[in-house]
Amino acid sequence: MRVSLNWLKEFLDIETGVDGLAEKMTMLGLEIESVERPGAEINKVVVGQIVSIEPHPKADKLVVCKTDVGQPQPVQIVCGAKNVRVGDRIPTALDGATLPGAVGIGCRKMRGVESCGMMCSAHELGLGEDHSGLMILEPNAPIGQDIVSHLGLDDAILEVEVTPNRGDWACMIGVARELAALFETPIRVPEVHIAEGAQRAARLSSVTIEAPELCPRYIGRLLSGVQVGPSPSWLCQRLLAAGQRPINNIVDVTNFVLLETGHPLHAFDYDKLSENRIVVRCAKQNETLETLDGQVRKLDSSMLVIADAERPVALAGIMGGHDSEVGESTSRVFLESAYFEPVSIRRTARALGMQTEASVRFQRGADPEMALFAINRAAGLVQELAGAEVAAGLLDEYPNPPAPVEVELRYGRSDDVLGTCVAPREQRGILERLGFVTVRSSDAGCVVRVPSWRHDVSREADLIEEVARLHGYDKIGVTLPTVRQIDEILAPEEAKLRALRRFLVGQGLTEVFNWTFDSAEAVRKCGLPEAYLDMVELQNPISEQNAAMRSTLIPGLLATASRNLRHGNLDLAAFEIGPVYGPAKNDQELPDQYTRLAIALSGRKGTHHWGRAPEPYDFYDLKGYAESALGFFGVYVQFDAADFGPFQSGHCGRASWAGQPLGYLGMVGKEVLRAFETEQAIFLLEFDLDPLLAHRPPPPEFQTVPAYPASLRDMAVVVDASVPAGELEATARQVGGALLKRVEIFDVYSGKQIPEGKKSVAMNLFFQADDRTLKDEETLASWDTILKHLQERYGAQLR
Amino acid sequence: MQDRLKRMQAEGIAEIAQAPDTRALDDIRVALLGRKGALTEILRGLGTAPPDQRPAIGKAANAVKKALEEAIDARKTVLETQVARREARETAVDMSLPGRRPMRGHMHLVPQVAEEILGIFLELGFQAATGPDVETEYYNFDSLNTPPDHPARDLHDTFFVKPGVVLRSHTSPVQMRVMEKHAPPVAVVVPGRVYRNDYDASHSPMFYQIEGLLVDKGVSFADLKGTLLLFIHRFFGPDTEMRFRPHFFPFTEPSAEVDISCSVCKGEGCRLCKNTGWLEILGCGMVHPVVFGYAGYDCETYTGYAFGLGIDRIAMLRHAIDNIHHLYENDLRFLEQF
């Protein structure tokens, strides 16, 4: 909300400068987002009157004006505006003037004719967007007066963020009330003067509330002989300062009173109301109403409307109807000031997609008592500005005024919660300054009646906040609590995940952090199985590509990899750890959430160095990372050849642990790469982490450090190329006997000297005994056994 | 004979000292001490000397032998050192060339900052708690004193999965999940992704928060201020100032927003802090009695505080990142900076 300092000063004396005031308001909870000083950049601009206009000798589109600026001689100004007219009063920048945007004005020749100054449009003064022509001032504007004071631009506009609990702040009186409590100074509420006529309102109209639970109070006033016309400049200034455009005196008064009191009003053309009366009721199913914005609204029975004898004439608390709108021909006005129930207004506004000044205020809770002041204030102003006659009496339907809310404050409790000590007198004083009325009081506390505008206060905690706020948050000290902990680890996986992140980063991988949104299309692009299309969909996504919660990390990581490759980041070793989601199972309310790890490698590995040619990543680098990451969890994982959507056949494997598949790894297939607009090979894996996170391996048990040296033997055999090398290794382990401690494949070779379709596999066999140095014969026996089995099982030949 | 030995020693030592390399030295050793060497000859010819002189000559010859051996060893050491020095000189490293670094990964900035913040609170005795990203409206709103049609719901542009199920718009639902299951005291910090349907230059629809909750007997607003001041000093530096400002959250009362003195202008006023000298970093307050009611806690016996901070915003402030979208574009040139 925009708060004009000049306007605010009408309600109370403010001695602080604007910066100090902004600071104080912020510290009260009325956060100031910005301070605007509209006139600060305008200098040496005065009210001028055009006294003569001559054609420009050299330019058709320019004229030469003489303008009276209150000096002995008029100034000569060359002007290009279309709306120049002798006698008009215009904001005129003098020689040496400055305008917003640090524009300087001086004397210069325009196509050969001396021009000393400039006549300004509203836009040039920084007052709105209108630069179609000169800004025409009122005919009685004092010539020579400084434009800043003439237009009331010597003001500061404070942009206040009003929190949703404090609807009462969204008006001048509300802000003034709060500041008055802070500064301990009285507030000046404008006096209302109405000269009521002889005619009685009750004779002319009536108000019937059929839905009192949705409309607890409805007040009407009748005004006749209204002359619709422009508003005076003081009123326009107030509206402009608040960021509103003046329309006509009737509409402007209702807007003005809204800004002043926070209470939305509505004016109906009395003569357009069927039977000239008001019925507050729920809409009938499928009833329609054309609202002021020209839209025809289809209503339902949950929506509260203001109707006449026949049909709805306004959407209660949201927007008036087109047919009963006040226009230039209006002479009799029915003025409405009502209190509507917030939830109903909110629902209707939501259902119809309408948010208006009025609806926002009713939703946050208006003040039913303010309704009366607001209507009288408005009636008085309309009488003053539009020459209206005000009918005698109010039509005030208020069948069940709410019982006042009373809340107790215990001073000791307040001190305990705040951790400070505020004297009981100060505590009570704060509440009273804020408009709370003490009902009962003792040494230990008080019971106060909550003012009608404070819908946010209903319990002691709310009063404690008031005490803290006015006492000053900054005056409350700082202490450190004793933090007591329960004997249970609530999220054991958290620490493990943090450690895993560090571990992987230490292994040279860089972490990516993607949005958890995804789309079925992206899943299809990866060639993933159907099951992955079963996604948790959003009803209101930001876009098609983000229409669901991801079911896998693969599309996101592939997209990240591809984007990097396309941006020239050609070497990539990345991982992501994060949640994926699966639809709710059976009778579960919420979808399932799983934690996954994905790794992607592409380009060349290692840091690049002058002494060593970089090598490209291959599948075994990926498998190495897989083994390393799984090793972190202390589990032994089985890898098998497999086929899986995103991966190239023959370059893909499945990892399983304890018979349970953990995920797949492989080289991304050509078609998938194409779908992600890249050609460079990408190696990718995705594993489930949940079973690993839940796994708590026992702490490793100490093994004796061998005291006798190991003996090493090599074995190189030639087998069919299709025989997995791992099986040879496993066989060796299986049959090698107790002395064989370790088997390592150190070379796999095919090519020269090896027959077509065959390969050579070379292994290191480590033998060791705990109690002696082994003799050759002992290891040779084992070696022979291994070879025999390899020959039998795989047709292996010693190389 | 004695003279001959003496001469041999003097000449030998001189020769040894002149030996240009280990090979020449070895030749000298062979010539003097080898099987056919001069001294060996003398020792071998000892049998022909008069018996009474033999012990003296033997003794003298052995002394010469020892002296020559020592001289050779000493010269050898000198020569070897020379060689080693020369070799080292010839193979000297070029200190201007880069080293061969092991590959280094980078933790994403968001988890990195989250972990650092989490660490501060873990040290204070809080423990981590987590909850689901897809959450019920009950936990996300209702139980946090934000019933349907509460105007505060408008502040969160919530993503809906279906009626009653949303993407959590803050980490606060975990407060209720923890309190429901555990009697006080409760001291948790909750890291996690949160979602709001707001996507523009300064908003990401997914971002990251850390929530804190402390419930026990006698927890006060001053404790909240003290805890957060300690956090701010540890994270932003001991000279950072803190400001508590009244604010509104449905689930805390009293509520506050917390500002720190601007890291750029140190409170003087600059563009980053919009000339206020302050930067907003988090929201907090004393747990609302209604929230305790939902948790089944006795709000007369127990009080508590809660706070929530946006990791993205804090990371951006600390590292002067001008656009939140850098965080989620995952360009390596960004990631590798941290």
Q: What is the pLDDT of residues A612-625, one digit of tens each?
A: 888 999 999 999 99
B315 and chain A in contact, CB less than 8 A: no
B23 part of a folded domain: yes
Residue B93 CB contacts under 8 Å (≥ 6 apart), including other chains: none
The CA distance from A639 to A619, in Å, is 13
Residue B320 shares a structural domain with residue B274: yes
Give yes or no for a contact between A144 and A71, defined as CB atoms under 8 angstroms apart: yes
pLDDT at B54: 83
The CA distance from A365 to A343, in Å, is 9
Note whether A564 contacts B225, CB cutoff 8 Å.
Answer: no
SS3 A77: strand
Write out pLDDT tens, residues A318-375: 999 999 998 888 889 999 999 999 999 999 999 999 999 899 999 989 999 999 999 9
The CA distance from B170 to A580, in Å, is 19
Note whether B197 contacts A540, CB cutoff 8 Å.
Answer: yes
pLDDT at B7: 87
What residue numbers bound the domain in which B258 lies? Answer: 109-335
Give B146 to chain A, closest Cα distance, Å. Answer: 11
**Residue in chain A nearest B303 by alpha carbon:** A417
Residue B202 shares a structural domain with residue B331: yes
Using a CB-CB cut-off of 8 Å, the residues of chain B touching A27 are 245-246
From A558, A550, A646, A554, select the one nearest A592 (Cα to Cα).
Answer: A550
Using a CB-CB cut-off of 8 Å, the residues of chain B touching A162 are none
Size of interface A-B (CB pairs under 8 A): 264
A601 and chain B in contact, CB less than 8 A: no
Note whether A517 contacts B205, CB cutoff 8 Å.
Answer: yes
The CA distance from A312 to A299, in Å, is 10
Note whether A29 contacts B105, CB cutoff 8 Å.
Answer: no
Residue B172 shares a structural domain with residue B210: yes
SS3 B201: coil
The backbone torsions φ and ψ at residue A352, rounded to the nearest 5 degrees and listed phi first, read -95, 0
Give yes or no for a contact between A412 and A444, defined as CB atoms under 8 angstroms apart: yes
Residue B219 shares a structural domain with residue B302: yes
B279 part of a folded domain: yes
B244 and chain A in contact, CB less than 8 A: yes
pLDDT at A571: 95
Domain final residue pick, B63, B91, B119: B91
Of B97, B178, B336, the CB nearest to A490: B178
What are the pLDDT tens digits along chain B (338 aa)? 778 888 888 888 899 999 999 899 999 889 888 888 888 887 777 778 788 888 888 888 888 889 989 999 999 999 999 999 999 999 999 999 988 888 889 999 999 999 999 999 999 999 999 999 999 999 999 999 998 888 777 767 899 999 999 999 999 999 999 999 999 999 999 999 999 999 988 899 999 999 999 999 999 999 999 999 999 999 999 999 999 999 999 999 999 999 999 877 877 778 888 878 899 999 999 999 999 999 999 999 999 999 999 999 999 999 989 899 999 999 999 999 99
SS3 A296: strand
From A704, A697, A696, select the one nearest A741 (Cα to Cα).
Answer: A704
pLDDT at B2: 77
What are A42's two structure tokens? 């305008």
What are B24's two structure tokens? 């020449």
Neighbours of B195 (CB within 10 A): 27
B102 part of a folded domain: no
Residue B33 shares a structural domain with residue B170: no
SS3 A273: coil
From B216, B188, B131, B155, select the one nearest B308 (Cα to Cα).
Answer: B188
Using a CB-CB cut-off of 8 Å, the residues of chain B touching A569 are 331-333
Q: Measured between alpha carbons, how far is residue A354 from residues A293, A322, A357 in Å?
A: 11, 15, 10
Give A798 to chain B, closest Cα distance, Å. Answer: 39
Indicate the pLDDT class of residue A248, thresholds 50, 70 and 90.
Answer: confident
**Residue in chain A nearest B336 by alpha carbon:** A510
- Across chain A, what does the average pLDDT equal? 93
Give yes or no for a contact between A216 and A368, defined as CB atoms under 8 angstroms apart: yes
Residue B55 shares a structural domain with residue B119: no
Of A165, A468, A484, the CB nearest to B187: A484
B100 part of a folded domain: no
From A334, A333, A335, A277, select the one nearest A307 (Cα to Cα).
Answer: A277
Give yes or no for a contact between A296 and A201, defined as CB atoms under 8 angstroms apart: no
Write out pLDDT tens, residues B69-80: 999 999 999 999
**Residue in chain B nearest A503 by alpha carbon:** B105
Neighbours of B76 (CB within 10 A): 16
The CA distance from B45 to B180, in Å, is 108
From A339, A288, A275, select the one nearest A315 (Cα to Cα).
Answer: A288
Give A442 to chain B, closest Cα distance, Å. Answer: 20
Interval A56-79 mean pLDDT: 91
Using a CB-CB cut-off of 8 Å, the residues of chain A touching B130 are 490-491, 493-494
Domain of B200: which CATH number? Answer: 3.30.930.10
* Distance of alpha carbon A34 from the chain centroid: 19
Domain final residue pick, B34, B59, B91: B91
Q: Measured between alpha carbons, how far is residue A242 from residues A38, A146, A246, B120, B314 in Å?
A: 12, 22, 11, 45, 34
Which A-chain residues 610-649 have CB contacts (< 8 A) with chain B? 610-612
Amino acid in position A713: R
In this predicted structure, the answer to whether residue A541 has a pLDDT above a threshold of 90 is yes
Give yes or no for a contact between A230 and A248, defined as CB atoms under 8 angstroms apart: yes
Q: Measured between alpha carbons, how far is residue A647 from residues A551, A553, A605, A662, A664 in Å?
A: 18, 15, 21, 16, 9
Note whether B303 contacts A418, CB cutoff 8 Å.
Answer: no
From A344, A353, A296, select the one nearest A317 (Cα to Cα).
Answer: A344
Cα A141-A145-A146 angle, rounded to 5 deg: 120
Give yes or no for a contact between A589 and B163, defined as CB atoms under 8 angstroms apart: no
Residue B193 shares a structural domain with residue B245: yes
Note whether A506 contacts B105, CB cutoff 8 Å.
Answer: yes
pLDDT at A701: 92
What are A203's two structure tokens? 């004779």
Helix (H) or strand (E) holding B109: helix B109-124
3-class DSSP string for A185-246: CCCCCCCCCCCEEEEEHHHHCCEEECCCCCCCEEEEEEEECCCCCCCCHHHHHHHHHCCCCC
* ipTM (interface pTM): 0.88
Note whether A507 contacts B105, CB cutoff 8 Å.
Answer: yes
**Residue in chain B nearest A564 by alpha carbon:** B331
Amino acid in position A627: E
B29 part of a folded domain: yes
Q: Among residues of chain A, what percentage have pLDDT more than 70?
A: 100
Give yes or no for a contact between A366 and A339, defined as CB atoms under 8 angstroms apart: yes
Of B100, B286, B336, the CB nearest to A609: B100
In this predicted structure, the answer to whether residue A226 has a pLDDT above a threshold of 80 is yes
Give yes or no for a contact between A595 and A577, defined as CB atoms under 8 angstroms apart: yes
B286 and chain A in contact, CB less than 8 A: yes
B96 part of a folded domain: no
B31 part of a folded domain: yes
In this predicted structure, the answer to whether residue A728 has a pLDDT above a threshold of 90 is yes
In this predicted structure, the answer to whether residue A442 has a pLDDT above a threshold of 80 is yes
Provide the domain count of chain B. Answer: 2
From A697, A717, A698, select the one nearest A761 (Cα to Cα).
Answer: A717
Which candidate in B225, B259, B338 is best for mutational testing of the A interface (most A CBs within 10 A)? B225
**Strand A278-282 relative to strand A207-209, pairing:** parallel
The CA distance from A498 to B262, in Å, is 30
Residue B237 shares a structural domain with residue B279: yes
Using a CB-CB cut-off of 8 Å, the residues of chain B touching A690 are none
The CA distance from B63 to B55, in Å, is 12
Note whether A513 contacts B328, CB cutoff 8 Å.
Answer: yes
Length of chain B: 338
A539 and chain B in contact, CB less than 8 A: yes
Using a CB-CB cut-off of 8 Å, the residues of chain A touching B227 are 480-481
Give yes or no for a contact between A638 and B135, defined as CB atoms under 8 angstroms apart: no
Residue B118 shares a structural domain with residue B223: yes
CA dihedral of residues B164, B166, B171, B175 (deg, nearest 10): 10
Note whether B197 contacts A542, CB cutoff 8 Å.
Answer: yes
Interval A492-509 mean pLDDT: 95
Which candidate in B108, B176, B182, B291 is best for mutational testing of the A interface (most A CBs within 10 A)? B108
Note whether A164 contacts B243, CB cutoff 8 Å.
Answer: no
pLDDT at A695: 92
Using a CB-CB cut-off of 8 Å, the residues of chain B touching A494 are 128, 130, 191
Give A204 to chain B, closest Cα distance, Å. Answer: 38
Using a CB-CB cut-off of 8 Å, the residues of chain B touching A610 are 97-98
Residue B159 shares a structural domain with residue B239: yes
The CA distance from A92 to A46, in Å, is 5
Indicate the pLDDT class of residue A213, thresholds 50, 70 and 90.
Answer: very high
Using a CB-CB cut-off of 8 Å, the residues of chain A touching B225 are 476-479
B216 part of a folded domain: yes
DSSP string, A651-718: EEEEEEETTEEEEEEEEEPHHHHHHTT--S-EEEEEEE-HHHHH--PPPPPP-PPPSS--EEEEEEEE
CA dihedral of residues B233, B238, B240, B241 (deg, nearest 10): 80
Give B322 to chain A, closest Cα distance, Å. Answer: 18
Note whether B182 contacts A462, CB cutoff 8 Å.
Answer: no
SS3 A602: strand
Give B267 to chain A, closest Cα distance, Å. Answer: 13
Residue B133 shares a structural domain with residue B38: no
What are A671's two structure tokens? 């078609």
Residue B6 shares a structural domain with residue B116: no
DSSP string, B238-286: TT--EEEEEEEETTEEEEEEEEEE-TTTTTS--TTTTTSSEEEEEEEEE
pLDDT at A704: 86
Using a CB-CB cut-off of 8 Å, the residues of chain A touching B329 are 563
Note whether A549 contacts B133, CB cutoff 8 Å.
Answer: yes
pLDDT at A587: 84
Q: Among residues of chain A, what percentage have pLDDT more than 90?
A: 81
A363 and chain B in contact, CB less than 8 A: yes
